[in-house]
Structure 1
């Protein structure tokens, strides 16, 4: 059964859903597209947040043609104007309607001013038209406005790695890291430092990034930091940096996994249990399979710890006995007289 579920989860033609009891189910993408999605769009039509989530999920499933009308409607009604414009423009791009996508982005800029995510998506339109340098210039300006947009930052660094070679990745990240208020580039530079086994440099990048973030750390940032440190064996540092900033409702299973594993690898079962209980408290059906796994791992670690003998309490004594130990002639001074309820040991042998 577990093997079948893993196979289903990796099937691109299946979509994972949960029923009213929180049970995990898989349905075909075609069934979802024709029988479920239309009704969901209709029920969420005038609720911008819900409609956006449905459109975003459909894009991830490759159903961009099925949400074109919904994306246009969201563009008209979304109080978050940048979100509505980005969503509609991206859906238009996915449907190869580049001129209309550009018009949406430029209209938004004219009405509300320049914004990082809008310019990044405009750069994607230009790149799709093979206007490489113009796209790169637009992308850089987008990062000047907002250096911490994940998609734009990784794309910018990837372009330089393609143009210059492996060193281009780090050079591009360093350029972005020098911008005021930049912190996401520092997270990637810290990863590079860890790969060079330079913990001090990585910690310096983390310190700079966290000081600039200030408030609640985005979940993907805390996941990357705790995961990268744990992957390279810096378990204590991972816990020290990530756990004080861990908010279960914000960071969820992604960061919780890293913290539980770090605590378990350090033998800290009670701390691992504490994180696990916080995640159980969220009552997320999609978490239950993983939380059950950690429940078992913690129980196994506790059992191993309590059943292992304490070497400091073990004593070994050698006694020399003449003759078979079961004979009454064995030296009595070596053995104290047994109480009536003492354990009886039977020694038997065969002579062949």
Structure 2
């Protein structure tokens, strides 16, 4: 089911808002209008209004006919989308089943008014008043009926009764003060707000007074009104959106942090106030508080927010990167080891799912790929710094070549990289001399590849320089070299070309990949694929406690990356496995953001065909997201002839400790 977009981002309203208790948005009702919606992955999509009505809205209305709360929300949504003509039976049904007469009679009256049935609307409002009393909402809508008939005095009197009954009823208040403004100008408008503010329990009028004084640069007066409202703790879930939006629109960013941040609760208050608060933290340069709030809001799992939260996540990451500084490092004080990976990087994180992948014998001849070095000029100094693009690519390209050898040759494949324990990977300056490696590679190794790369320019205008050397372990010499320069857009073509040249040199090529589902990434996808390999490697270091969790940044981007690739290229099963692999690693290091991915992952699993490797990894998903019933049922109902390796894999999953801090 799609979720509609929330459009109010700033909290800005006008005093001319519609007087109905629930104000339809006034959107066009053209049949070819496109409606914005979101799928289960949080992707924005557009659907024709007519198609939305037939395939989504009307079936949903029928589905919710026995649940008063859900039916009410569906009717409100229908009014906002301009489907009032379809809502008469639903509104009548709501009156029958709702135990909140004020709600049901108000919404039925609005539906009737939208359909031009003013007499019927008055009738249902009066019945509502008999049941619930003369509430502000019912009286405001009764005043609207009188106004529609042209009975101005009667409408005025009834509207003032509504204000006295509930001075905080948004539409009634705005309608009343706008009438005073039309009749007496700005002075009458301010006086009207002060009159309402003096009523018992009033707080909304104070917010509008605060806006007025903000716009007239009387900041102290506005602040006093805000403090009065917040101290009273009687405001509704949307008040903080208005406060934060008005402060932001008037350049009072520090006051958002001072007044809104201490009281904002993402579970109680409008999420748009949270977005405004995130903007404030960004403007103030407070990455720490921004990241904390970001984590809380991601945890809501609300699809229409995701794209906005992703933008803030990227902004905070960029701020962290800019603030990061390189620090000199003493090589003698570092404990450096060589890490060897014997499987493609995305095989890790799946709890050693050896039953899923074709295995190569340990005694097979092997080929090794060392992480590339960085091309440097002049003296090289040791320093500690944040990972950058060239650092990622030096590892990603070698990881890809190792993956290619694994899947397209009969060699065993190895990837080697030096890492600092408690730190991260080492980026060497200048190409490694292969002669120094002959003594440390295993005797089964026939070939290994070294190389270096550099980059000049920035962004899409950068030019990559890549050199590779192929070494023959038996002859103990370099037997081939490749050196290329290519613009950023040509990197994918270059890597695929070099892959073919390397595989041709080492021989023992396969006509079909080792696992039938494996697909080589396309030219279009290659640069993105390399980025994922680099991020998968970072997650592997964290999961294996080589890199500390608090040294990792951009975690959500790393977990999201392969899912976005899988949605872009849904026929490629490898991308989906990459995504699950990342979640598995996050599960291993007890990620605090992991549960944000439950809905999207379950949708991916639901869409997977029964023969897909993703479907076969369902128990891993169940374990990650504490779906214990599904996991245990599957485990207890295995057929008698189930593979022993698979049974052991399930047992290993069962013993894993669930995430407790998500």
- Does the alignment reach a TM-score above 0.5? yes
Q: Who is 2:105 aligned against?
A: 85
Post-superposition shift, 1:75?
A: 1.1
Q: Who is 2:217 aligned against?
A: 197
Post-superposition shift, 1:110?
A: 2.5
Paired with 1:19 and 1:245, the residues of 2 have a C-alpha distance of 32
Post-superposition shift, 1:246?
A: 0.8
Indicate the SS of the match to 1:16. strand
Paired with 1:106 and 1:247, the residues of 2 have a C-alpha distance of 37
Is 1:142 the counterpart of 2:162? The answer is: yes
Q: Is the 8 A contact 2:35 2:52 kept in 1?
A: yes
Q: Who is 2:313 aligned against?
A: 295
Considering Cα pairs closer than 8 Å and 6+ residues apart, tell me whether 1 or 2 has the greater RCO. 2
Post-superposition shift, 1:106?
A: 1.2
Does the C-alpha gap of structure 1 residues 252 and 206 become closer, same or farther in structure 2, counting only changes over 3 Å? closer
The Cα offsets for residues 114-157 of structure 1, whole Å up to 9 and x where unpaired, read as: 11100000000000011111101100110101000111111111
Match of 1:225 among 223, 229, 243: 243
Q: Is the 8 A contact 2:42 2:307 kept in 1?
A: no
Moved more, 143-152 or 168-177: 168-177
Q: Who is 1:163 aligned against?
A: 183
Indicate the SS of the match to 1:57. helix
Indicate the SS of the match to 2:221. helix
Does the C-alpha gap of structure 1 residues 274 and 96 become closer, same or farther in structure 2, counting only changes over 3 Å? same
Runs (5+) with no aligned partner, structure 2? 6-26, 328-377, 382-662
Does the C-alpha gap of structure 1 residues 141 and 255 become closer, same or farther in structure 2, counting only changes over 3 Å? same
Indicate the SS of the match to 1:247. coil
Paired with 1:204 and 1:22, the residues of 2 have a C-alpha distance of 40
Paired with 2:250 and 2:324, the residues of 1 have a C-alpha distance of 29
Q: Who is 1:51 aligned against?
A: 71
Q: Is the 8 A contact 1:14 1:28 kept in 2?
A: yes
Is 1:262 the counterpart of 2:293? The answer is: no
Match of 2:96 among 51, 64, 76: 76
Higher strand content, 1 or 2: 2
Runs of 4+ in 1 over 6 A off after TM superposition: none
Q: Is the 8 A contact 2:136 2:166 kept in 1?
A: yes
Does the C-alpha gap of structure 1 residues 99 and 308 become closer, same or farther in structure 2, counting only changes over 3 Å? farther
Is 1:132 the counterpart of 2:152? The answer is: yes
Does the C-alpha gap of structure 1 residues 343 and 290 become closer, same or farther in structure 2, counting only changes over 3 Å? closer
Q: Is the 8 A contact 1:75 1:87 kept in 2?
A: no
Q: Who is 2:300 aligned against?
A: 282
Paired with 2:379 and 2:163, the residues of 1 have a C-alpha distance of 80
> CA RMSD for the aligned pairs?
2.3
Q: Who is 1:316 aligned against?
A: none
The Cα offsets for residues 233-264 of structure 1, whole Å up to 9 and x where unpaired, read as: 22222111111111112225301111111112
Paired with 1:232 and 1:296, the residues of 2 have a C-alpha distance of 26
Paired with 1:184 and 1:56, the residues of 2 have a C-alpha distance of 22
Does the C-alpha gap of structure 1 residues 176 and 278 become closer, same or farther in structure 2, counting only changes over 3 Å? same
Is 1:273 the counterpart of 2:330? The answer is: no
Q: Is the 8 A contact 2:40 2:303 kept in 1?
A: no
Does the C-alpha gap of structure 1 residues 25 and 343 become closer, same or farther in structure 2, counting only changes over 3 Å? closer
Moved more, 62-71 or 277-286: 277-286
Post-superposition shift, 1:299?
A: 1.3
Q: Who is 1:176 aligned against?
A: 196
Q: Who is 2:228 aligned against?
A: 208
Q: Who is 2:478 aligned against?
A: none
Q: Is the 8 A contact 1:252 1:279 kept in 2?
A: no
Runs (5+) with no aligned partner, structure 1? 310-340, 345-352
Q: Is the 8 A contact 1:116 1:143 kept in 2?
A: yes
Is 1:31 the counterpart of 2:51? The answer is: yes
Paired with 1:252 and 1:151, the residues of 2 have a C-alpha distance of 18
Q: Who is 1:336 aligned against?
A: none
Indicate the SS of the match to 2:324. helix
Paired with 2:296 and 2:28, the residues of 1 have a C-alpha distance of 31
Moved more, 58-67 or 14-23: 14-23
Does the C-alpha gap of structure 1 residues 308 and 173 become closer, same or farther in structure 2, counting only changes over 3 Å? farther
Paired with 2:123 and 2:244, the residues of 1 have a C-alpha distance of 41
The Cα offsets for residues 41-100 of structure 1, whole Å up to 9 and x where unpaired, read as: 221111111111111000001110011110011011111110000010110000010001
Match of 1:107 among 121, 127, 140: 127
Post-superposition shift, 1:22?
A: 3.8
Higher helix content, 1 or 2: 1
Q: Is the 8 A contact 1:194 1:202 kept in 2?
A: yes
The Cα offsets for residues 190-249 of structure 1, whole Å up to 9 and x where unpaired, read as: 0111111111111111122223334xx423210111222222222222111111111112
Paired with 2:148 and 2:306, the residues of 1 have a C-alpha distance of 42
Q: Is the 8 A contact 2:241 2:270 kept in 1?
A: no
Q: Is the 8 A contact 1:127 1:135 kept in 2?
A: yes
Structure 1 length as normaliser, TM-score? 0.81
Paired with 1:294 and 1:342, the residues of 2 have a C-alpha distance of 39
Paired with 2:136 and 2:71, the residues of 1 have a C-alpha distance of 23
Indicate the SS of the match to 1:250. coil
